[in-house]
Amino acid sequence: MEKKPYSLRTNIGYFLNKPIGFSRSFNIAHEEVFIQPDLNVKQLKSAVTFSRTREGLLLEADLEGSIETACGRCLMLFYIPVKTIIKELYFFSQRSQEDSDMVIPENGYIDLGEIFREYLLLELPINPLCKHDCLGLCDQCGQNLNVALCEHQLAKQIDP
Ligand SMILES: [Zn+2]
Ligand SMILES: [Zn+2]
């Protein structure tokens, strides 16, 4: 599959000169994107709002998309739809309290791809299934039993 490198660098630097309460909203929609370093997403949609606060900049976004993952039983790659809400505060660097705080970079640009990826992956089930009745793999030969039965499974059916 063709992978389009995805970078959603957004300039937020100009917010620093805006009054507290100033906000700006925009929509993002991508049919198919690749978010560095490892995530394929289809039908990525997001409604993003940035608001200037006392401490920095508040990011609020509704985010949805189908993310590529491997089935927990048969290991096939498939897309699973996920939906989440982002709320993050980016601090002005000089007021940052801890290393873990998100800080507005000197150049004023942040990469939304990074934070989208983080939030999308949090919504991934621990054991995702390509379908609820996925048959998985044969434990002896590794055959994908959704595709075809192997001799081991046929033998079990005859003599369970
Ligand atoms: Zn499966
Ligand atoms: Zn087998």
Whether the model clears a pTM of 0.75, i.e. scores above it, the answer is yes
CA of 23 relative to ligand 1 center, distance in Å: 44
CA of 146 relative to ligand 1 center, distance in Å: 8
Kindly identify the ligand whose nearest atom is closest to the C-alpha of 80: 1
Q: Rounded CA gap, 39 and 69, in Å?
A: 9
CA of 28 relative to ligand 2 center, distance in Å: 46
Q: Which of 25, 22, 31 lies closest to 1 in space, CA to CA?
A: 31
CA of 4 relative to ligand 1 center, distance in Å: 26
Kindly identify the ligand whose nearest atom is closest to the C-alpha of 134: 1
Tokens of 138: 């044969």
Q: What's the pLDDT tens digit per position in 59-81?
A: 999 999 999 999 999 999 999 99
CA of 160 relative to ligand 2 center, distance in Å: 14
pLDDT of residue 1: 46
